[in-house]
Amino acid sequence: MTDRYAVIGNPIAHSKSPRIHAAFARQSAQDLDYRAILAPLDGFAAAVAQFVASGGRGMNVTVPFKLEAFALADRHTARAEAAGAVNTLKFEQGEILGDNTDGAGLVADLLRNIGCPLAGNRLLLLGAGGAARGVILPLLDQSPASLTVANRTASRAAQLRDAFAGHGNLAALAFAELAGQQFDVVINATSASLAGAAPAIPPGLYAPGSTAYDMMYGRGLTPFLAAAQAQGAGRLADGLGMLVEQAAESFLLWRGVRPDTRPVLAELAGELHRA
Ligand code: NDP
């Protein structure tokens, strides 16, 4: 029988995950079916239960259900525990395992696809929401020289610093307090680009040859990447690679095989940059 997987969210029609996982399945000759499920905003747990009852083996979870997925899981991986959010569910022997592959996806994209080293570098993470929280531990695991979290609402950055105390060298600042500092890698984990804006960070933060990375992706430069280019960032990258890499980490958890992400990423990138 074909194994069943799905991505669940609201909205979900835009999701590229079914295409990504279909490509992974073809590439690794795995027999599986992966589709998108739109759950009502008040119906996440019921939709998961229905999928499990119909023989579902695993799910990706996207906006706005990552916290509910964390609460629903019976067990968590260490990285999901640290993130406090779950983007991958695995159903096995009547139990729900919750994982979070977003951080591993970001790190894999930076290191393998972009060729941006993290060890020994000064990292700046903008934002203090779910996406920022999920990538802090995987970034600290890369032994950067420093990791600074800055957020529009500074108190939320401070909460993250306190939550990760003991895991590494993590500083928390308000945007204005960044003035005068320089960073080798600046990662935008705010949702400002969704509203067509760039976070209001001071100029002069980009060290020579630095990388600007936006977790958002789309056609052309996001507002954050356009601003980074104007401020002298040496290299620009959007979050399409993170999307494909986090999917590959989920596939590995479910199927025990890590797909080759390069052809899948090249195809999606080609489409985005057409038209
Ligand atoms: P949340 O809603 O949890 O957090 C939003 C964050 O953005 C907060 O820190 C908020 O600051 C900040 N923010 C919002 N608007 C602005 C603004 N105009 N200027 C400055 N800061 C702003 O969202 P998530 O953390 O879940 O997601 C963040 C982004 O990451 C989204 O765009 C999402 O699409 C993307 N993402 C991409 C992934 C990928 O695979 N490529 C995976 C996961 C997420 P404040 O606290 O002050 O409100």
Is the model's pLDDT at 28 over the cut of 90?
yes
pTM of the model as a whole: 0.95
Confidence (pLDDT) at 238: 96
Question: How many Å lie between the centroid of ligand 1 and the Cα of residue 1?
Answer: 39
Distance CA 83, CA 79 (A): 6
Mean pLDDT of 233-260: 97
Confidence (pLDDT) at 275: 45
Asked if 35 and 21 touch (Cβ cutoff 8 Å), the reply is no
Per residue in 116-157, pLDDT tens?
A: 999 999 999 999 988 999 999 999 999 999 999 999 999 999
Would you tell me how many other CB atoms lie within 10 Å of the CB of residue 231? 17
Measured from the Cα of 239, ligand 1's closest atom is 41
Question: How many Å lie between the centroid of ligand 1 and the Cα of residue 132?
Answer: 8
Phi/psi for 99 (5° steps) reads -130, 165
Cβ of residue 127 lying under 6 Å from some atom of ligand 1: yes
Mean pLDDT of 75-102: 95
Is the model's pLDDT at 274 over the cut of 80?
no
Confidence (pLDDT) at 193: 85
Mean pLDDT of 241-246: 98
Cβ of residue 192 lying under 6 Å from some atom of ligand 1: yes
Q: Using a pLDDT cut of 90, give the percent of the chain over it.
A: 91
C-alpha distances in angstroms, 218 versus 102, 132, 180, 239?
18, 19, 31, 9
Measured from the Cα of 191, ligand 1's closest atom is 32
Query: Can you list the alpha helix ranges (DSSP code H) found in the chain?
Result: 17-27, 44-53, 66-72, 78-83, 102-108, 130-140, 154-163, 223-230, 240-255, 262-273
Query: Using alpha carbons only, what angle is made at residue 223 by residues 187 and 126, rounded to the nearest 5 degrees?
Result: 25
Burial (CB count within 10 angstroms: exposed 0-12, middle 13-18, buried 19+), residue 226: middle
Nearest to 244 by CA among 221, 267, 224, 264: 264
Confidence (pLDDT) at 198: 96
Asked if 139 and 123 touch (Cβ cutoff 8 Å), the reply is yes
Mean pLDDT of 59-80: 95
Residue 190 DSSP code? S
Residues forming the active site: 66
Structural domains in the chain plus CATH codes: 3-100+246-259 (3.40.50.10860), 103-238 (3.40.50.720)
Is the model's pLDDT at 227 over the cut of 70?
yes
Cβ of residue 151 lying under 6 Å from some atom of ligand 1: yes
Q: Whose CA is nearest to atom 19 of ligand 1?
A: 199
Q: Whose CA is nearest to atom 7 of ligand 1?
A: 190
Question: How many Å lie between the centroid of ligand 1 and the Cα of residue 170?
Answer: 19
Q: Whose CA is nearest to atom 17 of ligand 1?
A: 192
Question: How many Å lie between the centroid of ligand 1 and the Cα of residue 189?
Answer: 5
Confidence (pLDDT) at 95: 97
Mean pLDDT of 1-8: 94
Question: How many Å lie between the centroid of ligand 1 and the Cα of residue 156?
Answer: 12
| Mutational pocket test of ligand 1: of 62, 190, 244, the residue with most ligand atoms within 8 Å of the beta carbon | 190
Confidence (pLDDT) at 177: 97
Cβ of residue 242 lying under 6 Å from some atom of ligand 1: yes
Burial (CB count within 10 angstroms: exposed 0-12, middle 13-18, buried 19+), residue 93: exposed
Per residue in 87-98, pLDDT tens?
A: 999 999 999 999
What are the structure tokens assigned to 133, written together? Answer: 């929280």
